[in-house]
Amino acid sequence: MRLGEWQIDPQDGSLRSSDNIRRLEPQLMGLLVYLVSRAGTVVSKQEIVDAVWAGAAISDETLTSSIYQVRKALGDDARRPRFIETIPKRGYRLHVPPTETTEAPMAAPRRITRRLAVAIAAALVLASAAGWWTWRGRRPTDIRSLAVLPLSSVSPNADERSLAEGLTSALITELANGTRLRVISHTSMIGYRDTTLPAVAIAAELGVDALVEGTVARKGRRVRVDVRLIDARRDAALWSQSYERDLSDALRLEAEVAAAIGVRLRAAPEDALYRPSQTTRPEEAMEAYLRGRVLLDEGAPTGAIQAQAHFEKALALEPRFAEAWAGLADSHVAMLLRGPGEPRDQAARARAAADHALALDPELAEARAAHASVLASRVVPRPSCSPQPACGPSGGWRGRPGATPPALGGPEPCSMAGHSCTLPSLNFEGG
């Protein structure tokens, strides 16, 4: 069947135009085919769920995200729809009549022919089956590597796009640190932003077995992430879920997503993937931290300097933000390797920030990774430490609650797991 410039093939899940081929996973193809079967008619959300997801319990956010993905594949725009129109409080309507095709497009029929109806029915059966298996949560054991495609923002707002990039980076970090999977770095994935390549082609380029893709939406203080896990070798959806939290809980949200993926791929323990942070962060501090991570991952010459400013802002708002201390250490290592700045100064600051991160949370994967980065870059000047068993095993920076992190003006004592240490000062003025 043909829809506008697109020829739809439900059997192989493809959309083809004169110069492009795009593929939809079975659920999304089923959604498109169902709308085609009801062209010109307003269909409710419940009707779509019953037909495409076989009545399984899914959230409104999952349906909205699926509609967005189908629109994106068609090159459609919700604000100026060519194909799929949103009818407020009622549902959706496909307002371009489909055309049945054989070798070449035929004239648009006035009704759905028997042949077209059979194709539609077959696609809906496949979509319902995919929905049932997704709901059941299959756990393939032969997936050893994956890549996280840049999460797309459902809003054109630049700040929300930045949030989506930051959450992508956070999810990659959680998967890399908390599972036995080989995970492609965020830096390597930046070039796949807004890609139209099919999953099989992306996986072949990256040499991975699976892909994670999804969308991010923000409404006030709440953030919603819709995420899907795809077996890229078979171009088959394995699992999908929606998560919604306050922005201050963004890192915990990404930890939950990574845990769910790891468990389903049997790449992490059933009981606990790792220990996610139990502390919420001020919203503004979280935004600054996520933006700093994105700038650092992009690897631009000035990115490390800009990232450092964002991490310092996060720490000025929340001095006990261990992940931000780890990010600050990474930014100093990047500046040491790529410039600017005096190497010994960057070395001392990198080590100090990494030690702060470990002191605040000795089990934090990002803190351990930052410490390893310091050592790997041969940044090894150590603080002056003496045993102090009274500190206890948990350690922790001994600043007053709400106090600012160390500033210029001399060394500041801190406490790390059983040691009393003097660390090089870090400047947070003007950050």
Please identify, among 136, 157, 179, the residue that sits at the C-terminal boundary of a domain: 136
Query: How many domains are there within the chain?
Result: 3
For the chain, the 3-state helix, strand and coil shares in percent, each to the nearest 5, are 45, 20, 35
Question: What pLDDT sits at residue 187?
Answer: 83
Mean pLDDT of the 230-235 span: 82
pLDDT (tens digit per residue) in 89-113: 889 999 776 665 544 433 333 344 5
The more confident residue out of 214 and 347 is 214
CA distance 98 to 77: 18
Judge contact between 37 and 44, C-beta under 8 A: no
Q: At 208, which CATH number?
A: 3.40.50.10610
140 phi, psi to nearest 5 deg: -65, 140
243 & 293 share domain: no
User: Does residue 21 have a pLDDT over 60?
Assistant: yes
Domain-located, residue 391 = yes
Mean pLDDT of the 274-282 span: 63
Domain-located, residue 428 = no
User: Does residue 243 have a pLDDT over 60?
Assistant: yes
Amino acid at site 407: A
Question: What pLDDT sits at residue 298?
Answer: 81
10 & 113 share domain: yes
Question: What pLDDT sits at residue 261?
Answer: 87
State the distance between the two ends of the chain, measured CA to CA, in whole angstroms.
Answer: 58
Question: pLDDT-derived band of residue 340, with 50, 70 and 90 as boundaries?
Answer: low
Tell how many helices (H) and how many strands (E) occur in the chain.
13, 15
User: Does residue 47 have a pLDDT over 80?
Assistant: yes
255 & 123 share domain: no
User: Does residue 53 have a pLDDT over 80?
Assistant: no
Q: At 342, which CATH number?
A: 1.25.40.10
Question: What pLDDT sits at residue 407?
Answer: 36
User: Does residue 263 have a pLDDT over 60?
Assistant: yes
Judge contact between 280 and 196, C-beta under 8 A: no
Domain-located, residue 163 = yes
Q: How far is CA 77 from CA 71, 86, 150, 184, in A?
A: 7, 11, 20, 31
CA distance 339 to 337: 6
CA distance 253 to 247: 9
Q: Where are the alpha helices (DSSP H) in 243-320?
A: 250-264, 283-298, 303-317
Average pLDDT, the chain: 75
Q: At 94, which CATH number?
A: 1.10.10.10
User: Does residue 380 have a pLDDT over 50?
Assistant: no
Cis amide bond preceding 340, omega within 30: yes
Question: pLDDT-derived band of residue 184, with 50, 70 and 90 as boundaries?
Answer: very high
The two tokens of residue 190 are 């930046």
Mean pLDDT of the 130-158 span: 69
Full residue range of the structural domain in which residue 385 is found: 283-423
Mean pLDDT of the 42-71 span: 80
Whole-structure pTM value: 0.54
Domain-located, residue 211 = yes
Question: What pLDDT sits at residue 131?
Answer: 47
Domain-located, residue 274 = no
Of 4, 282, 290, give the one whose Cα is nearest residue 169.
Answer: 290
Mean pLDDT of the 258-276 span: 68
131 & 9 share domain: yes
